[in-house]
Structure 1
Amino acid sequence: MNNQELQKLTEKISLTHFQKPFRHKALFNPRLRSTGGRYLLHNHNIEINYKYFEEHGMDELIGIVKHELCHYHLHIEGRGYKHRDPEFKKLMQEVGAPRYCTPLVSRRSTSKKHRMYHYKCKDCGMIYIRKRRVNTIKYVCGRCRGKLVLDSVEK
């Protein structure tokens, strides 16, 4: 799918679900990372993350477009377009737009939250457990000033 096809799809969804025309641009933005799409207030364009279409298909893309069109039409009409506004929540329910996107599988990685680094002093054997990596060239053992080496990484 390219930007022209996305534009046509957005215009079609706008007419069928909202009974209003979409008169601005809908395009894929490769810089989007953590969101499925966004509605730009200053120029009324809609940007979509292509990765959601790649991983989850057309149904997810349609849901994202519906969600962004809710922002678009309410903002154009001067009504409550923010997530917390009751008008926005009501319109989303009417058109069947999702509140959140399905998480991307490619964004999931090993969690650094629970990773522990074990360092050992070469001279005295003192063990240091840290949540962050330590520059072993810059830092030395606090007990004997010996060289530190990475002993293990616990996940």
Structure 2
Amino acid sequence: MNNEELQILVERVSLKHFGKAFKHKATFNARLRTTGGRYMLQSHNIEMNPKQLELFGEGEFMKIIKHELCHYHLHLEGKGYQHKDADFKTLLRKVGGSRYCNVVPGMRREIKTVHLYRCTKCGLEYKRKRLINVKRFVCGRCKGKLEKIKTIS
């Protein structure tokens, strides 16, 4: 599928499921890594991740298109278009869009390092992905000093 075919598909889905025309551009963006698609607030265009179509098929891809069209139509109508808004959740359920897209293998970074800290006063242990400045931060429970125990890779 190329950009022209994607444009036609998005226009059809918009008319069929929303009863409204899609009057902007829909394109593929291969640089999208962690999302299935993106609605652009300023230009009102939609960008889609081609990996979602390749790896998970047209059924899942259609759900992502519906998701982005929910953002599009609600934003243009001045209603709640964000993921947290009731308008968005209701419309997404009504049209059968997906709330989340599938994870493309190798696209998300996995955190492998874990830093382990312990309070010298109460003994509470903390696991953190990022380093803590033990001279600046204290235990949240008793305000005791923290010490780094080890780093798990």
Q: TM-score, normalised by structure 1?
A: 0.70
Alignment of 1:98 onto 2:92: no
Alignment of 1:6 onto 2:6: yes
Aligned to 1:68: 68
Look at both structures and tell me which one has the larger radius of gyration over its CA atoms: 1
Aligned to 2:82: 82
In structure 2, distance between residues paired with 1:33 and 1:106: 9
1:38 alignment partner, SS class: strand
In structure 2, distance between residues paired with 1:60 and 1:72: 19
Aligned to 1:142: none
1:27 alignment partner, SS class: strand
1:57 alignment partner, SS class: helix
- Structural RMSD (CA): 2.0
Aligned to 1:32: 32
In structure 1, distance between residues paired with 2:32 and 2:107: 12
Gaps of 5+ in 1: 116-130, 132-153
In structure 2, distance between residues paired with 1:85 and 1:108: 26
Q: Write the letter of the residue equivalent to 1:113.
A: K
Cα offset, 1:112, TM superposition: 4.8
Aligned to 2:48: 48
Change (3 A) 1:51 1:86: same
Gaps of 5+ in 2: 115-128, 130-151
Q: Is the 8 A contact 2:28 2:48 kept in 1?
A: yes
Cα offset, 1:106, TM superposition: 3.5
Q: TM-score, normalised by structure 2?
A: 0.71
Q: Write the letter of the residue equivalent to 1:28.
A: F
Q: Is the 8 A contact 2:33 2:108 kept in 1?
A: no
Encode CA deviations 1:75-112: one digit per residue, 9 max, x unaligned: 01111101111000000000001100011124367x45
Ranges of 4+ aligned residues in structure 1 off by more than 3 Å: none
Encode CA deviations 1:10-46: one digit per residue, 9 max, x unaligned: 0000000000000000000121111110100001000
1:31 alignment partner, SS class: coil
